[in-house]
Amino acid sequence: MSSDSDLFVGATTRVFWDLDDFPVPPGKPLESFPKNIEDALEIEGYLSDVSIYAYDSGKLPYKAICHFRMAEILFVQQSERKITRLNSMLLDMIDWAHENPPTLSSQKVNLLVIAKDIPDGDTEFVSVCERLQQRNFNVFVVVPDDCPQEELPLPSTASLVWRWTNLFDGGATTRVFWDVDDFPVPPGKSLDSFPKNIKDALEIEGYLSDVSFFGYDAGKLSYKAMCHYRGAQVLFVHQSEKKCTRLNSMLLDMIDWAYQNPPTRSSQKVNLLVIAKDIPDGDTEFVSVCERLQQRNYNVFVVVPDDCPQEELPLPSTASLVWRWTNLFDGVSYWTWLTGHTKILRAPSLSSQQVNLLVIAKDIPEGDTEFVNVCKALQGRNFNVFVAVPDDCPPEELPPPEAVQENNTRNYNKDFRERAI
């Protein structure tokens, strides 16, 4: 997600969309697209007013055109010739930029281009985008879902790049890899709510994400149970009684899916949520695959059993986030299990406003508490944790830096006296 220094509140964004280059993805509702664009921009730190210009070949039926207009999409050019549509779009981009110059304030002017250049064509597509960026406009570009990494636009052409379906969904892409034998549906819980709850849990962590599921099982589910899973959007891709076979199949699927969904330069990360157990003392590649994916800018999230001891949790190099199974199934924050509370504390927003917690309390010496762990978890989620210590606290007993903000441990009696004076 964007840092506070990159946040531009009140940005203006004009979308230039060639409907022939990028038609509405199958099964996706057009009505949600304008709002999803706003969500995608907000993830990047742009709280933006959005307007949409559309270009097409003139073959849309009247009913479809009305549908686009109801979604507040304005048609400005219709031509069967791609070069005509592209040149018209580039002229409109220049004209709109001329009418909306960036100011000296932090308010940015953005152009989101949902159109393809003409391969080996003598066009001004790249030149126009580069010149606009040189004049302090932000140019964002959309590419096809299968665009190879080496063919993405250069930073000089586009500040941010989205894959088409990712942008249309308004957020990150998450694939869930779920071994239902390792983690069956918790007793008394409804499978029907699970997809929605996963989205809620991800949103709490700052990921407005499209979620899809791959399921793995031992082949012992009844036909009725299989239908229930399919109704919950879980696609079973491998069945085997052997845990090692299921795990290896899952790891190969993770690598294959990651290869087909490489991250772009937007902060909308590509996420893999692994709901499966490794094989204890088994010669597997579970940890290695997760670490390598994270090194390549994927987010790997891992689920552990409810009773997993603290010392057996995956390392940060293996998993960006860790949930206990029942907590994830209920759609709550990943660190809630640390405290034992069910209240969800939302992460800081995209605004520059910091969220601070001042703790004026003592830990229990040699007590089995989660004081330090909770402070670490909060700091890891961009909260500021300030801790007060007694006047006579020796330096060697101060809280560790990873548990509190640097230089923010205070001698609270002295500090409050000075402030009162």
Range of the domain at 323: 172-339
Does one domain contain both 39 and 178?
no
**pTM, full prediction:** 0.54
Residue 8 resides in a domain? yes
**Domain's final residue, options 115, 145, 169:** 169
**Domain's final residue, options 169, 198, 228:** 169
Does one domain contain both 364 and 416?
yes
Asked if 201 contacts 180 with a C-beta cutoff of 8 angstroms, the reply is no
Residue 317 resides in a domain? yes
One-letter amino acid at 402 equals E
Q: Mean pLDDT, the chain, as a whole number?
A: 82
Tell me the CATH number at 165: 3.40.50
What are 256-300's pLDDT values in tens digits? 998 877 776 555 568 999 999 999 887 899 999 999 999 988 999
219 pLDDT above the threshold of 60: yes
In this prediction, residue 404 has a pLDDT band, given cuts at 50, 70 and 90, of confident
* pLDDT score at 28: 85
> How many structural domains compose the chain?
3
Residue 368 resides in a domain? yes
Range ranked top by mean pLDDT from 135-149, 177-191, 378-392 = 177-191
- CB contact burial 164-175 (16+ within 10 A = b; e otherwise): bbbbbbbbbbbb
Distance between CA atoms of 265 and 220, rounded to whole angstroms?
43
Weakest-pLDDT range from 135-139, 189-193, 322-326, 396-400: 396-400
Q: State how far the alpha carbon of 70 is from the alpha carbons of 13, 44, 67, 107, in Å.
A: 19, 27, 5, 28
Does one domain contain both 131 and 190?
no
Does one domain contain both 138 and 211?
no
Closest CA to 108 of 40, 8, 14, 3: 8
* pLDDT score at 41: 83
Does one domain contain both 160 and 179?
no
Weakest-pLDDT range from 16-20, 139-143, 168-172: 168-172
Sheet with 172-179: list strands edge to edge: 234-239, 209-217, 172-179, 270-275, 299-304, 321-324
Pairing status of strand 384-389 against strand 409-411? parallel
Residue 349 resides in a domain? no
Does one domain contain both 181 and 299?
yes
Distance between CA atoms of 202 and 210, rounded to whole angstroms?
10
**Residue 312 in tokens:** 């057996």
Among residues of the chain, what percentage have pLDDT more than 90? 41
Closest CA to 405 of 336, 373, 358: 358
Residue 222 resides in a domain? yes
Distance between CA atoms of 298 and 262, rounded to whole angstroms?
8
Q: State how far the alpha carbon of 283 is from the alpha carbons of 101, 243, 292, in Å.
A: 60, 13, 17
Does one domain contain both 23 and 55?
yes
Over residues 156-185, the mean pLDDT reads 88
Residue 132 resides in a domain? yes
Does one domain contain both 317 and 382?
no
> Would you mind telling me the total number of residues written for the chain in this entry?
421
What are 347-356's pLDDT values in tens digits? 443 333 457 8
* pLDDT score at 346: 40
Does one domain contain both 218 and 333?
yes
Pairing status of strand 299-304 against strand 270-275? parallel
Residue 350 resides in a domain? no
One-letter amino acid at 306 equals D
Does one domain contain both 297 and 381?
no
- Say which DSSP state 395 is in: G
26 pLDDT above the threshold of 80: yes
Does one domain contain both 281 and 187?
yes
Residue 345 resides in a domain? no
- Look-up of token digits 């601070």: 356
Does one domain contain both 335 and 411?
no
**Residue 183 in tokens:** 């983690």
Asked if 325 contacts 306 with a C-beta cutoff of 8 angstroms, the reply is yes
